[in-house]
Structure 1
Amino acid sequence: MSNKVLLADYNNHGQQQFEYPEQDVYYTGRKLNQDLKHGPIEQRGCQDIICVILYLSVWALMIFCAIKSWDTGDASKIYLPYDSQQRQCGKGDLKSYPNIYIITQSESYCVSDCPGESGVGKELPCYQCSAQTAPYASAQLLTLCFPTLKVDEKYQELISNLVDISGFQRHYADLEETWPIILACAGIAFFMAILLTFLIRLAAGCIVWGMILIYLLIVAAIGTVAYLQSKGHYQEYRIIDDAQQLEIIAYVFWSIGGLSLLIILCLAKKISQAIQVLKTAADFTREEWQALFVPVFILILVLGFFAYWLIFSAIIYSTSNEINKSQYSPYVELQWDAKTGWQLCLYFFGLIWNVCFALALCQFVISSCCCFWYYSHQGYPLNSSILKSFCRGFTTNFGSLLFGSLILAIVWTIKFILEFFHKQLKNSVQGDNNALGYALRCAKYYVSCFEKFIRFLNQNAYTMMALTGQSFCNSAYDAFYLILRNATRVAITHGLGELFEFLGAIFISASSSFICYLIITKADAYKNNIFNPIAPTLAFILVSYMIGKMFMNLYGMGVDTLLLCFIVDTEMNKNEGGAKSVPHSLKQYASELN
């Protein structure tokens, strides 16, 4: 009784001392809605309507700009070249001849196809070119017939001087050549993800401890190799010439490995408890296997919007009236005016906001399905959980998801602007080794840290939103203090979930990319027809990592959502014997905490 009186006196004193309860360092948040005892709240209203209005306004402006530019814009200005007679390839009478084949500085022709090895010395497939023959073999690079690697260097030098063949264009040609392998990489990554999912269900503990062991071995191996190189061994693989620096690197990695091992030993029990949550997340994906298709559906939506954005951004860009074209270059250079620049900025921000919204919707739907599954163990109905989650995401919680994604989109935009200015400064005469460059680097670092905090806060806010149906601010508020009240429970489990998600995606990406890299560097059909394997390999890594991330994100979101559901369940029923909806695989975790 005395403790209650003291607590009441403390609360009264706190209310008199602080204008807002959040100013008190001992404040741990407000009580949650008691209706959460029985599962996610059904009675919901539309939240954050102003964000819906703002989002629809952005879309209205984007559509208006697209319609206005449709009649005056011509995207072919960007990529269709001109021949030596100043006729645009792929237009009018030359509609069937979209590519440019350059013979001399003042002689070029529009051709239907780029002549390959078999076409050398034969008549060019061109329009009214008086039986002109092809002097060299070429490969199509966008709309340019670029000499292959075996061709006389004078032709390569000629075309490189006339046309700014950037590294990007060469990489694009390599990607076009290896696209079947990129698709195969996606298939391999999908298979590896399914295999890893199956293994997690069988032995989550072995996989987690195995990943930790692999991490320690890699750190130790890097340190050992660096030390041996500092002593004169493995010189053919040596990257750094300074032996003293290599020795320092070795000691640093050994120190990191030793410190990591010490931390792992101290937190072994916590890691074992977190593995139980991971096993429960595996049970969720096994029973609610339809959730695997949610990231795939979201990815299709993002790709569809990106295609729309790419097409209409090109059309808007082509509306600029300022066109520069050198005497011999087959391509025009467009310089947009202020009006076109603002329209492109609008489309760029629209792209970022829509991508952030797609990520938010994916996280919300998975969290919502996980909440339904958790509370189904005490009788909460588990019918059409994915459809129900999508309906809530596009109706009552639509504005809240837009609010959270808008905050992240603004942070991404600021990050992009800082990166742009920093790049401009680096390319300037004075470089970035000055006070301004230092300030920009600091600003980029602070924004990156803030971005990580926002992503963490958003993810947990979406989980609370799935449970309570509140606005974004209220959900983020409750999620923050819920985690603060249970920091010791959340820290290790969340960290392990993040680590497992990252390492799983890395495993899928590395294994898939390595197989495809061997194909393009060893198979005769590819190794002689690409400029450089860098771009295809990066594409392998990107595609396989995205697929791996989609699958592993289920476990990351599952771990975080299940943990928050368990904490909410425990708080709601702390006077009635503890959590009531604990899944069977999580009961040992609950008993160890109690």
Structure 2
Amino acid sequence: MLTPSKPFTRRCFPAINVKKGVVMVGNATTFYDGDQKQRNVTDLVEGAKKANVVLEARQVAMKIFEDYTVSWYWIIIGLVIAMLISLIFVVLLRFLAGIMIWVMIVLLIAVMGYGIFHCYMEYARLKGTAGSDVKLTEIGFQSDVRVYLHLRQTWLAFMIILCIMEVVIILLLIFLRKRILIAIALIKEASRAVGQVMCSLVFPLFTFLLLCLCIAYWAITAVFLSTSNEAVYKVFNETVCDYAGKTCDPETFNVTNVTRLCPDATCQFAFYGGETYYHKYLIVFQVYNFFMFLWLANFAIALGQVTLAGAFASYYWAFKKPDDMPAFPIFSSLGRALRYHTGSLAFGSLILAIVQLIRVMLEYLDHKLKGADNTFARFLLCCLKCCFWCLEKFIKFLNRNAYIMIAIYGTNFCTSARNAFFLLMRNIIRVAVLDKVTDFLLFLGKLLVVGCVGILAFFFFTQRIRIIQDTAPTLNYYWVPILTVVIGSYLIAHGFFSVYGMCVDTLFLCFCEDLERNDGSLERPYYMSPELSHILWKKDAELLKSSESQS
């Protein structure tokens, strides 16, 4: 911590006011700094706090960087393991969908049960340990996470959270047991479709590369815009100098009087500024650049969705599967999307990008109004944020189903969105039974992959596996690689399971459309597989009968 100081009795003391040989320390509230300017003592305290926060943040950042340098290859190995587990899980779903779903549910409950047991054992182990009964509110924020792990209250909170999650999942499984059987049938059919279109599992990499290009283009453009102003240079000097902090010209600085009056002064770059013509429009350019990033990113995602939907729709509407399917479903669907549907995808992405930009602006206003005392303005802003959040979710859901209808019929965006919306409304019971329960099961699959990899990473980086205990790197914060592996594993699992989710949504809309267009006769036969037809018709009849009896 650096504070203003001056010599006193051959010692370096803080620059406190010295009068008549007496150092005023006791009740003095002001002092004179090195420039003989009167300042308040509280300035030292506030400056010390800010300096400590900055120094502590720098130390934490350096330690995190050191942890990454010694554990990056182990993080990559963990992500590769997550990818292999996800791939194995998807391949097993192809042959053992029903068994895998129930095994996944049991394993997830077992993993969460072990988490509860581990938290209880740590809570019991810390009983009687000195300092373990301190409350979390008393210690405040600590950069070292290991401080929290030595408190009983931390493990008690973890145990309570896991218990609540365990009870909620078990209750959902009990009440949705019949619907889970229907969802398993749909997942089996999706497994067959994915098995016939194996390229769909690696297609998310194409979408990921497009998103990387969008992010890179946005970042490069933002940097060019921020550095498009004139470079401002200022005088920097370690000693007292009247010209310190003033602007200067590096080309003529050496011939000015500044170097003569302040020999140690240098003319260094400070920031980009100036009063150029387009300086006042720079923020508009940055907003436009960010809006274009949102538009392009949503377009890349929409292109991936309509491509997968077209490939899986070609599987469903093939009367003789897989003989009537195209040779390369993914490439055929991608070609159709790029040739005929770019306008529809751009329009749907534009609507979503506008809503997302409004949400970002509302977040910016909320950040600026945090210190405001206007309660009504804060309440109105909170309501707007909630409304636009719901609107964004609805538009994403509508766009996803509109893209499926575009892939099936080739109609424009507005027509496809209208047809998809009314088709879902006419089959609202099936939507609640099949679509959402299937999404819930796929979400459990993501949690299972993340839980397995996260537990393995925890035991490895905390050196609790005795066989390879010496192999694990020595870390400042072992939560850094663990958190990185967990987040990366979730993204990888989401990439694999998103293919299944798109396949299920496509097959579901095709199934609803098949029921409305055909009646199962020889003239208009169903295109669904016999297994799906038998299970869905049987379970659907039971659900409709039960709903009619309740009404």
Q: TM-score, normalised by structure 1?
A: 0.62
Deviation, 1:322, is: 6.0
What letter is aligned with 1:588?
H
Distance in 2 between residues matched to 1:180 and 1:485, nearest whole Å: 52
Say yes or no: does 1:572 pair with 2:517.
yes
Partner of 1:482: 423
Say yes or no: does 1:493 pair with 2:434.
yes
Structure 1 residue runs of 5 or longer lacking an equivalent are 1-156
Q: Aligned in 2, Cα 1:534/1:353: closer, same or farther, shift over 3 Å?
A: farther
Partner of 2:318: 376
- Mean CA deviation greater in 445-454 or 328-337: 328-337
Pick from 280, 285, 289: which aligns with 2:194? 285
Distance in 1 between residues matched to 2:325 and 2:96, nearest whole Å: 29
Q: Are the equivalent residues in 2 in contact too, given 1:189–1:547 (CA < 8 A)?
A: yes
Distance in 2 between residues matched to 1:440 and 1:367, nearest whole Å: 38
Q: Aligned in 2, Cα 1:270/1:502: closer, same or farther, shift over 3 Å?
A: closer
What letter is aligned with 2:178?
K
Q: Aligned in 2, Cα 1:326/1:293: closer, same or farther, shift over 3 Å?
A: farther
Partner of 1:204: 97
Distance in 1 between residues matched to 2:498 and 2:529, nearest whole Å: 21
Say yes or no: does 1:416 pair with 2:360.
yes
Say yes or no: does 1:458 pair with 2:399.
yes
What letter is aligned with 1:589?
I
Partner of 2:489: 544
Partner of 1:389: 333
Q: Aligned in 2, Cα 1:453/1:222: closer, same or farther, shift over 3 Å?
A: farther
Q: How many residues align?
A: 434
Q: Aligned in 2, Cα 1:551/1:162: closer, same or farther, shift over 3 Å?
A: closer
Distance in 2 between residues matched to 1:370 and 1:272, nearest whole Å: 22
Deviation, 1:418, is: 2.0
Q: Are the equivalent residues in 2 in contact too, given 1:298–1:362 (CA < 8 A)?
A: yes
Partner of 1:446: 387
Q: Are the equivalent residues in 1 in contact too, given 2:83–2:493 (CA < 8 A)?
A: yes
What letter is aligned with 2:97?
A
Distance in 2 between residues matched to 1:334 and 1:521, nearest whole Å: 46
Q: Aligned in 2, Cα 1:205/1:326: closer, same or farther, shift over 3 Å?
A: farther
Partner of 2:45: none
Q: Are the equivalent residues in 2 in contact too, given 1:497–1:555 (CA < 8 A)?
A: no
Partner of 1:587: 533
Partner of 1:562: 507
Q: Aligned in 2, Cα 1:499/1:323: closer, same or farther, shift over 3 Å?
A: farther
SS in 2 for 1:191: helix
Pick from 396, 401, 405: which aligns with 2:349? 405
Q: Are the equivalent residues in 2 in contact too, given 1:376–1:382 (CA < 8 A)?
A: no
What letter is aligned with 1:422?
D
Q: Aligned in 2, Cα 1:395/1:262: closer, same or farther, shift over 3 Å?
A: same
Pick from 312, 321, 336: which aligns with 2:230? 321
Deviation, 1:461, is: 0.9
Distance in 1 between residues matched to 2:125 and 2:74, nearest whole Å: 40
Distance in 1 between residues matched to 2:535 and 2:222, nearest whole Å: 52
Partner of 2:251: none
SS in 2 for 1:581: coil
SS in 2 for 1:484: helix
Say yes or no: does 1:274 pair with 2:183.
yes
Structure with bigger RCO (C-alpha 8 Å, 6+ apart)? 1
Deviations 1:483-522 (A, max 9, x none): 1111111212111222133222233334334444555554
What letter is aligned with 1:487?
I
Deviation, 1:548, is: 1.0
Structure 2 residue runs of 5 or longer lacking an equivalent are 1-49, 139-151, 239-267, 464-468, 542-551
Partner of 1:73: none
Deviation, 1:347, is: 1.8
- Give the alignment of 1:114-193 within 5 angstroms: 165=58, 171=64, 174-175=67-68, 178-193=71-86
Pick from 303, 308, 313: which aligns with 2:212? 303
Partner of 2:284: 342
- Give the alignment of 1:206-285 within 5 angstroms: 206-213=99-106, 261=170, 264-285=173-194
Q: TM-score, normalised by structure 2?
A: 0.67
SS in 2 for 1:422: helix
Distance in 2 between residues matched to 1:255 and 1:533, nearest whole Å: 27
Q: Aligned in 2, Cα 1:172/1:465: closer, same or farther, shift over 3 Å?
A: farther
Distance in 1 between residues matched to 2:397 and 2:191, nearest whole Å: 22
Distance in 2 between residues matched to 1:262 and 1:504, nearest whole Å: 18
Cα RMSD over matched residues? 4.3
Deviations 1:145-179 (A, max 9, x none): xxxxxxxxxxxx99997999496676566545544
Q: Are the equivalent residues in 1 in contact too, given 2:211–2:300 (CA < 8 A)?
A: yes
Q: Are the equivalent residues in 2 in contact too, given 1:566–1:579 (CA < 8 A)?
A: no
- Mean CA deviation greater in 301-310 or 390-399: 301-310
Q: Are the equivalent residues in 2 in contact too, given 1:368–1:467 (CA < 8 A)?
A: yes
Deviation, 1:323, is: 3.8
Distance in 2 between residues matched to 1:317 and 1:394, nearest whole Å: 34
Distance in 2 between residues matched to 1:533 and 1:248, nearest whole Å: 20
Q: Are the equivalent residues in 2 in contact too, given 1:521–1:527 (CA < 8 A)?
A: no
SS in 2 for 1:475: helix
Pick from 437, 446, 463: which aligns with 1:505? 446
- Mean CA deviation greater in 233-242 or 336-345: 233-242
Q: Are the equivalent residues in 1 in contact too, given 2:109–2:166 (CA < 8 A)?
A: yes
SS in 1 for 2:74: helix
Distance in 1 between residues matched to 2:157 and 2:366, nearest whole Å: 31
Partner of 2:255: none
SS in 1 for 2:318: helix
SS in 2 for 1:574: coil
Q: Percent identity?
A: 27
Distance in 1 between residues matched to 2:353 and 2:491, nearest whole Å: 20
Deviation, 1:362, is: 1.1
- Mean CA deviation greater in 326-335 or 441-450: 326-335
What letter is aligned with 1:420?
Y
Deviation, 1:562, is: 0.7
Deviations 1:275-328 (A, max 9, x none): 100011111111210111210111112113322332232222111236476837
Q: Aligned in 2, Cα 1:172/1:251: closer, same or farther, shift over 3 Å?
A: closer
Bigger Rg over Cα: 2
Q: Are the equivalent residues in 1 in contact too, given 2:105–2:444 (CA < 8 A)?
A: no
Q: Aligned in 2, Cα 1:238/1:191: closer, same or farther, shift over 3 Å?
A: farther
Q: Aligned in 2, Cα 1:526/1:272: closer, same or farther, shift over 3 Å?
A: closer
Partner of 1:436: 377
